[in-house]
Each structure stands twice: as C-alpha cells, then as structure tokens.
C-alpha cells in the first residue's frame, strides 16, 4: 500500500472516530437532559447542592407526585422527619428534606447561620429541583424557616400550602413589643450549656422537655433520645451556637402577614420548648389563611411521639 493510501486511511479512521465521539456526546447530553427532566417530577434520591457562598446543602428526594418539603428543627437534621417522609411517600407524594447549613450532613458553616440565609438556601434547592406547587412543612426553627422562605421566595406558583408545627413564629424573645416571650437568659443558658458540654446538653434536652419525657407517667423512649443526640452531634458547634440567636430573636411578624397561601398551625399545649401562648396563638392571627389545631397535653416533639395523629391531620389539610 502506498504512503498516500495509508495517510488517507488514517484520516478516514480519525474522522470516523471524531464522528463517533460527537454522536456519543450528543446521546449522553440528551440522556442527561432527560434525567434532569425526570428528576423534576420524580425524586432523584437526593444528594447535595452548592449554594452561592460555597456551602454544601445535603438533601433527600424520594418518590413522585406533589412535592412536600420538610424543614427540621434545631439542632437536628432531615432524619428527624423519618416518620413523615415514609408516611407521605406511601400516600403518593414526592418527599424532600434537607439538612440546614451547619446541621447534619451539610457544611459546618461558620457564617450565614441566620434566617435570611437559611431561606435563601431553601430557595436554591427549590430552584435546583424546579419545585412547583410544593407544600412546605416546618417544625420549631424549621417553622421560622418556612415562614421566611414562603414570604420571600414562595411566589410564582412554587408554594401551595404550608404547615407550622411547634414553630418559633412570630418571635420567641421577650421584649417591650413581645412581653409574653422568653427572657434572653433562657437563650443565654442554651449557649452556655452548648459551649460547656454540647454532648451532655444534647442528651438532656430530649431526655427532658423536648418530648415531655420529664412529665409524670411519660413513656420514655431511649431510642428517640439517642436519635436526637445522634442528629445533634452530626452538626457543627459554631452553627448550632449561632442558630440559637436565629431562632430566638428573628421576628417573623411581617413574613406571616405576607403569606397568602393556606397555613396549618399545629401546636401542643404542653410544649415546654416553644410555649403556645406566645407562638401559635399569636401566629395564626397574623396569617391571611391560617388554621389552628391545638393538641391537648402534647409536647414540642409531637411529630415524633404522636406521628400517626400529626400525619393524619396533615394529610387531611393537604387534601382539603
């Protein structure tokens, strides 16, 4: 074979290889686009997203159907919603829960541990997953996060309803404008205990007031206490310390007034962490479409201790 023929043959092989590579790239690109489209409607399983300041936010994303986004309390993680995630998944919903920055498997941030940034992180996740017509459910600190997110980022059909469970709204801290709130000494005590011995503090809270296990005749669950401790100790001490200010001092009054979707406010009247009188009873009056359900004798952590009841009432609200 002549040198000319050999060179021509080589060029033909190279051209064919380039064409094959281009075709493969096009197929892979199409598959990726298809997968992204499917993830908008069906749970991707979860993963992480990186937000503007470089923090990574861990999330779970299971199932198909109308999305429900769960926002956990301090100092926990998305694992605190296990009973709700599994129940609503079985009811045909797409269930999503994230670990707030500084909590759980998300970055242990030393900045941005405030409600505005928490809400912006949720907005980034909602954009990433292209969530529409979503229901947002928040417990305790997560209830404040829901209020701030829905008020500031929940327009354009992104949010259909919201639920606040034992939420810190409208504001926890006592002040001349909020005489029924808790004094700053309570929250200073949180910070002192966290800094001195976080591991012990994170045992004492669930073993005592959080689930009402300190009440006479309470049915104490060591597994529940251990799971609370496990979740808390996964997060960052600095972020947890900062978050005390975020959940106790942030005023959500204007957020609640701005929300124009139906909101179910659920609160136990034996909540020793967020007393109902200065929380749910005030918050529901600020909402345009608020509905209040009070649970006699139930604690702050009632979504865990009485999951069947709370899930049933949420389902009825979602379907209404």
Q: How confident is the model at residue 44 (pLDDT cuts 50, 70, 90)?
A: confident
Q: Are 210 and 190 in contact (CB under 8 A)?
A: no
Q: How confident is the model at residue 42 (pLDDT cuts 50, 70, 90)?
A: low
pTM: 0.87
Q: How far apart are CA 87 and CA 219, in angstroms?
A: 23
Q: What is the mean pLDDT of residues 235-248?
A: 98
- Residue whose pair of structure tokens reads 């001349």 in the numeric block: 176
Residues paired with residue 69 on neighbouring β-strands, in sequence order: 96, 136
Which stretch of DSSP H or E encloses residue 164? strand 159-165
pLDDT for res 14: 38
Residues paired with residue 165 on neighbouring β-strands, in sequence order: 139, 266
* Per-residue pLDDT tens digits for 176-224: 999 999 999 999 999 999 999 999 999 999 999 999 999 999 999 999 9
Q: Are 169 and 145 in contact (CB under 8 A)?
A: no
Helix (H, G, I), strand (E, B) or coil at 162: strand
Q: How far apart are CA 5 and CA 240, in angstroms?
A: 72
- Give the residue with greater pLDDT, 44 vs 170: 170
Q: Which residues are catalytic?
A: 140, 271, 300
Indicate the average pLDDT of the chain.
Answer: 90
The answer to whether the peptide bond before residue 170 is cis (omega within 30 degrees of 0) is yes
Determine the straight-line distance between the first and last CA of the chain, rounded to whole angstroms: 81
Q: How confident is the model at residue 256 (pLDDT cuts 50, 70, 90)?
A: very high
pLDDT for res 131: 97
* Per-residue pLDDT tens digits for 220-229: 999 999 999 9
* Per-residue pLDDT tens digits for 288-305: 999 999 999 999 999 999
Q: How confident is the model at residue 43 (pLDDT cuts 50, 70, 90)?
A: confident
Q: How far apart are CA 207 and CA 225, in angstroms?
A: 6
- Give the residue with greater pLDDT, 1 vs 170: 170
Residues paired with residue 292 on neighbouring β-strands, in sequence order: 265
Comparing CA positions, the residue from 37, 252, 259 lying closest to residue 136 is: 259
Q: How far apart are CA 60 and CA 159, in angstroms?
A: 19
Q: What is the mean pLDDT of residues 31-35?
A: 39
The two structure tokens encoding residue 133: 């017509």
């Amino acid at each position: 074979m002549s040198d000319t023929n050999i060179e021509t043959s080589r060029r033909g092989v190279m051209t064919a290889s380039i064409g094959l590579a281009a075709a493969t790239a096009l197929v892979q690109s199409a598959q990726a686009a298809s997968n992204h489209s499917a993830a908008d409607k069906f749970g991707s399983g979860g993963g992480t997203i990186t937000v503007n300041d470089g923090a990574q936010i861990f999330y779970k994303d299971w199932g198909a159907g109308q999305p429900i986004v769960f926002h956990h309390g301090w100092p926990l993680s998305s694992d605190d919603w296990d009973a709700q995630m599994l129940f609503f998944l079985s009811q045909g919903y797409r269930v999503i829960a994230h670990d707030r920055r500084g909590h759980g498997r998300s970055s242990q941030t030393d900045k941005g541990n405030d409600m505005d940034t928490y809400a912006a992180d949720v907005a980034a996740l909602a954009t990433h997953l292209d969530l529409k017509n979503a229901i947002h459910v928040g417990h305790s600190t997560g209830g404040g996060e829901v209020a701030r997110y829905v008020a500031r980022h929940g327009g354009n059909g992104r949010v259909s309803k919201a639920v606040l469970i034992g939420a810190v709204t409208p504001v926890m801290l006592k002040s001349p404008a909020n005489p029924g709130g808790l004094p700053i000494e309570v929250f200073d005590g949180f910070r002192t205990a966290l800094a001195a011995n976080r591991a012990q503090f994170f045992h004492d809270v669930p073993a005592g007031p959080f689930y009402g296990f300190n009440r006479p005749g309470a049915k104490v669950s060591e597994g529940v206490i251990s799971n609370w401790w496990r979740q808390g100790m996964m997060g960052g001490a600095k972020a947890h310390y900062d978050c005390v200010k975020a959940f106790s001092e942030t005023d959500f009054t204007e957020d609640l007034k701005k929300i124009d979707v139906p909101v179910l406010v659920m609160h136990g009247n034996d909540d020793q962490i967020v007393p109902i009188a200065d929380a749910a009873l005030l918050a529901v009056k600020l909402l345009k479409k608020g509905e209040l359900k009070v649970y006699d004798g139930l604690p702050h952590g009632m979504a865990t201790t009485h999951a069947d009841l709370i899930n049933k009432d949420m389902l009825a609200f979602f379907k209404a």
